[in-house]
Amino acid sequence: MKLYVGNLPHSYTEQELTDLFSTFGSVVSAKLILDRDTGKSRGFGFVEMSSKEEAEKAIQEQNGKEVGGRTVVVNEARQREKRDNRSSFGGGRRQY
């Protein structure tokens, strides 16, 4: 089960994220989302736990807790919405 982890300190590393969640079970993967231009953390990431039970325990224990001076948000990750290929600035052709 994949978890969304938000409001992380920008100095946090993927190893620290793994360590934070490994106390609740087996972490399959931990990924911080980085800014495309600067390469710095955007303050959120995703953690995949090996079972639903472990993930639910991690949500229960970590959501709303303070990590590095910030109150983190932990919940089940939602499926990413499919994006339209067209730009939001037009780009599409009008049909007459």
- For the record, the structure tokens of 80 come out as 């990413």
Cβ–Cβ contacts within 10 Å for residue 22, how many? 15
Q: Whole-prediction pTM value?
A: 0.81
DSSP, residue by residue, 23-55: TTS-EEEEEEEE-TTT--EEEEEEEEESSHHHH
Query: Residues 30, 12: contact at Cβ < 8 Å?
Result: no
Q: What is the pLDDT of residues 33-45, one digit of tens each?
A: 999 999 999 999 9
Dihedral-angle region of residue 85 (phi above 0 means left; psi in -120 to 50 means alpha; beta otherwise): alpha
CATH class of 2-76: alpha beta
Per-residue pLDDT tens, the chain, 96 aa: give them: 999 999 999 999 999 999 999 999 999 999 999 999 999 999 999 999 999 999 999 999 999 999 999 999 999 999 877 766 655 555 555 555
